[in-house]
Amino acid sequence: MTRPFQLPNDVLLLVGEQLDDHADRWNLIFISQDFHDLFLSLVYRTVRLNHWRGAYSFIRAITKRPSLARVVRELDLSRWRKESIPQADWDVLQRCSILQGRVEVSSYSQDETTQWGENLAKGRGDAWIALMLPLLTQLRQLHLVYSTPSICLNRIMQRAISNERPFQSQPAFQHLSKVSLHHREHLDQPTAHANAANGSHEDQSALLLSFFQLPSMCSIVANSLVDPTSISIDSDPETDETEPLDVGCSSITEIDLSRSSGNRGMDALIASCADLKSFKYQHSDSHLTSNGYQPTAFYRSLTRSKRSLQTLWLDHYGDHYPFTSAGLNQTHDEWFGSLADFSALREIRIRLPNLLDIRYQSEPTSPLINSLPRSLEILYIDGCEERHVGMLVSQLRTVVRNRRSRFPHLRCLSIEGAFRNASADELGDTSASASEPADDTIKPKIVQAAEPLHEDCASAGLELHVHDRTFSQSPHH
């Protein structure tokens, strides 16, 4: 096919980059030989693999054409479907010289080769990705689902950090900046106790900590993590292979942990970050070793970053059980501590009992206006009980009225709690029609209590949002 008019390749590539759908980019390479040669590298910039068949094809392609491996910027296995390879297919794969070569270059012994084979045959994404990683020298983003124990992936990451084979020819992952790690067992069984198997805590921590040691890392997202600080303290030093992180050694500026357990405030992770700007943490007591959410532990850890931290989300929609392995679970309602000295903090999302010291009284021991930083722009308060609405409104009104002198950058306030009108079913009213829509409105007394704050915010040009946990309202009620 001859193009009726010629556009420079740079212009065509810019047009191709505007196609967000990967399928549309893929279709470009079938238009003509010219388009195939031009746009093939564009197709390989973002690679999404969902199963072993795609992984095998990808490894073959980048092994045969190393130039394609060098254009890969993002590798996404977040939707990986773990499935064992049928025996007939596995017999064919074992005879593939390319696959054999990748395993051999990554293995140091026959035992390791056997382990690779077993994990690949089970269709484990962490094993397949471990074969690819040494080839992807220009990778920027990595999203993966892994299982524990992730022997092959852990092994490859440790060798990358140590510049050992298969990374001895050049430093590994020099451009990798964003990583998301999702634990497979948690995703498959979100209500089950995570990490029940012996050694799985150490396995997860070793994998996570390896990314903290890479030179260009900026952002890490993970789920179902047990605090590596408590592991390094409580584990046997003779058998634990997890190396502690040096203070300030990591370039990571964003940490986002969901359904995790930070018994010691994730101190090892936070302390390793030289310039932490965003920390988001969602607690879960589903982990067998959880001692409950302990806000004061996070306060001690985050104090290290009080001059750099800009975004802080603490325990939004966390899971708190009445009892944990430590006994009666009461620490989750502790006061976090004053945030006034966090001089760069712009956005705060925090539960009311952690924001204000109201554990044993109806009024806080320290006024809210004295606990917030001057740099504050957005304040989102979770978990406000109905009995505390009046108190919180009063505290926030003081903040709003003093915004010019104390909080000149403040622009948005949000309050979340159990504020929805109960439905007929919830009230046990069997006479209500089943076809009647649910009453998804804020209780009138909540609206009335918040009205003075709404008037203050409107006069000040601030946004006010009042939310129920089950749904979100538009600005103001």
Q: How do residues 442-463 score in pLDDT, each as one tens digit?
A: 899 999 999 999 999 999 999 9
- Beta strand pairing call for 347-351 and 463-468: unpaired
Within a domain: 208: no
Q: 438 or 378, which is more confident?
A: 378
Bigger pLDDT: 108 vs 199: 108
Structural domain includes residue 373: yes
End-to-end Cα distance, the chain:
60
Cis peptide leading into 228, omega within 30 of 0?
Answer: no
Q: How many domains does the chain have?
A: 2
* pLDDT-derived band at 476, boundaries 50, 70, 90: very low
- C-alpha 350/C-alpha 368 separation (Å) is 13
Residue 176, both tokens? 């990798």
CB-neighbour burial class of residue 412 (10 A; exposed 0-12, middle 13-18, buried 19+):
middle
Burial class (CB in 10 A: 0-12, 13-18, 19+), 405: exposed
Encoded tokens for 184: 């497979």
225 lies in some domain: no
Asked if residue 436 has pLDDT above 50, the reply is: no
pLDDT at 194: 41
Q: Look at residue 340 in the predicted model and tell me its pLDDT.
A: 97
Looking at residue 386, its amino acid is E
Domain assignment present for residue 256? The answer is no
Residue 257 lies in a domain: no
The residue written with tokens 């101190």 in the block is: 267
DSSP letter (8 states) at residue 333: G
Instruction: Give the CA count within 13 Å in the CB-facing half-sphere of 27.
Output: 6
Residue with tokens 């009892």: 323
pLDDT (0 to 100) of residue 469: 79
Residues 6+ apart with CB under 8 A from 190: 259
**Residue 320 confidence class, pLDDT cut points 50, 70, 90:** confident
Question: What is the per-residue pLDDT for 435?
Answer: 47
> Is 78 domain-assigned?
no
pLDDT tens per residue across span 57-116: 999 999 998 988 998 999 999 999 989 999 999 999 999 999 999 999 999 999 999 999
Burial code (b: 16+ CB inside 10 Å, e: under 16) for 376-393 equals bebbbbbbbeeebbebbb
- Phi, psi angle pair for 309, to nearest 5°: -65, 125
Cα separation of 382 and 469, whole Å?
A: 9
- pLDDT: is 288 or 246 the higher one? 246
Q: What amino acid occupies position 148?
A: T
The domain in which residue 398 lies consists of: 351-427+437-477
For the chain, give the mean pLDDT.
83
| pLDDT, mean of residues 240-247 | 68
374 part of a folded domain: yes
204, part of any domain: no
Mean pLDDT of 361-384: 95
CA distance 194 to 259: 10
Overall average pLDDT of the 201-211 stretch = 82
